[in-house]
Amino acid sequence: MAYKSLQQFIDILEKNNELIRIKRFVDPVHEITEITDRVSKLPDGGKALLFENTGTEFPVLTNAMGSIQRMCLALGIDDLEDIRSEMSSLFKELAGPKDGLWEKLSTLPKLGKVAGWMPSVSSGKGVCQEVVHMEPNIDLLPVLKCWPYDGGRFITLPMVNTKDPHTGIRNVGMYRMQIFNEAETGMHWHQHKVGARHFEEYKKLGKPMPVAVTLGGDPVYTYAATAPMPDNFDEYLLAGFLRKKRVNLVKCLTVDLEVPADVDFVIEGYVDPSDDLAWEGPFGDHTGFYSLADWYPRFHITCITHRKNAVYPATIVGVPPMEDAYIAKATERIFLEPIRIAMLPELNDMNLPFEGVAHNIALVRINNAYPGHAYKVMNALWGAGQMMFNKFLVALPDSVDVQNANQVIECIVDSVDLDRDIHFGKGPLDVLDHSSTMAGLGTKLFVDATVGKGLSLGYNVNATEIAAEIEKSFAEIIAYNVKLIQSGFPILFVSIDKSKVSKVNDTLERMFKNEILGKLLAIFALDFGDSIEDLSLALWFVAGNMDPQRDIHIISIDADERKRIGFDGTRKAYKVDNFKRDWPNVVIMDKETIERVDKIWGELGLGEFIPSPSIPLQTLQVGDNPIVRFGF
């Protein structure tokens, strides 16, 4: 389905009982974030929220794609698997072998259909240019300040349109934009992104780089800007395929670029390579930690245009799950088939769990046909587009449903031999990863659970016995979670007081060499305070804080060299860690905002009171700035 406007999508959301209108004034500084955070963490993502009173003439839409149902509505489908099936059919018809002339000619209508999805440029103005501000002031927009230690207000759903200066090939990326003043913002494109490469080409030419930032319109545009498209592939062609209708573009007024005619806002301008870089950030990011301040280009605004009655779209990111988790789930389903067809036909399914914030954890189900087959898959995935940022990769046999957590854990426990099936690699990491010694580069873990029988423990692990032994013998452990043990899996999560240990590895080794705890296969250690009941949060915390080769310890527990595995998922910000980079704080809301939202909750029309998700995480806040500074 092709939406004519963001407002039409809002109407569809409302018709499907997926939207709540909030008529009371809510401050774009912190309050919209706090309310959205509470709602988005409800089961299945809560509802989309339309804040109609923002102190500006524009309402704010948040959490619009923050559930599987709303993601499907945005893409105009009933099920995310529908796109995978359609893409598979299209690839087979276009690329499959053809026996004769007539069969080859039969593909022409399909080629015509693809051509019908290509974007087109119209003369004249679009509805996105109904209102024109040639003396631009970004303060007209209800731009959010999301989290307490953010460097300022940030545009969080910008579709950044640029072109290669040599080829003219367009790119549409999504790079956050910090507001510096009424006519300047930051442009936070990472070195791996196409927008950054375009910028480098303009720098070589010594020319300003034209940029057009769009907001709103058909939600497919927003999704396409986030999608991991191959280089030199037009995101508006993907949008055309998804909406089954070409994207109609119009010329910008002050820069030589084209944008969709039906978006809500267009912010035109340029980035000048001769400018000094600007100090941008910090920002409470989708990793659940602050991305710390750094130097990025400065975007100069030359013109702002918008629809009459425009709606300002925003997304809130932070500790998962939030809206971005469902967008990533759509990407997982949509791009699985191209990966299968283009390079890995043995790949049958993939799961990027919410706890892995899109890139930290990947589970793949494969046909394992020969020795080392899983390693072939590993190498291919770690070299494929944004999968190069993956940090923990687990290959599972075709008999395992990778969407079923119990099946995955059972297979790993039963199949993995710690000598045979654990492999450490090294490669690029997301620039936002804070755990590695060097920014953007670190180690990775691959687990091959496809081979067969692993370690046989030979006896049951008793949760009550484990708990009693921890309390008797390990004073440094302040909390523990035995839920997996109670489910039959020999895996323990513990929270450690790091002020009482010199090395976490020493505690892990003592635990495994204990007669009772030695029955366990794996122990995950966190410095998570006394609130470790939520295993999903614990797994997110561990995955974010680990550099695999540094923080995973394979431990021999006896003369027979029986092996166990320990994971140090603690923050490496203590003096004993001797870590040279700044370590970011977890993203949580300040107590004052939480209390204000508590007081006005009854006026918001959101139903039953929802406590702040930040409350259980408050013990993780260290100091009063985005950087963790432990005193010991």
Catalytic residues: 285
| DSSP summary character for residue 42 | S
Query: 3-state DSSP helix/strand/coil percent for the chain, to nearest 5?
Result: 35, 25, 45
Q: Rounded CA gap, 322 and 374, in Å?
A: 32
The residue among 504, 515, 517, 516 whose CA lies nearest residue 553 is 504
**Distance, CA of 319 to CA of 284 (rounded, Å):** 9
What DSSP string runs through 579-627? --S--BPB----HHHHHHHHHHGGGTT--S----TTGGGGGG--SSSSB
**Six-digit token pair at 364?**
């793949």
Give the C-alpha separation, 414 to 453, whole Å. Answer: 6
- Tokens 């950030």 identify what position? 281
In angstroms, the CA 200 to CA 205 distance is 9
Burial class (CB in 10 A: 0-12, 13-18, 19+), 620: buried
Partners of 491 in beta bridges: 522
Q: What is the 3-state secondary structure (H, E, C) of 196-219?
A: HHHHHHHHHHCCCEEEEEEECCCH
282 in helix, strand or coil? coil
> Pairing relation of β-strands 170-173 and 209-215?
unpaired
Beta strands in 120-203 (DSSP E): 120-122, 131-133, 154-155, 159-163, 170-173, 177-181, 184-186
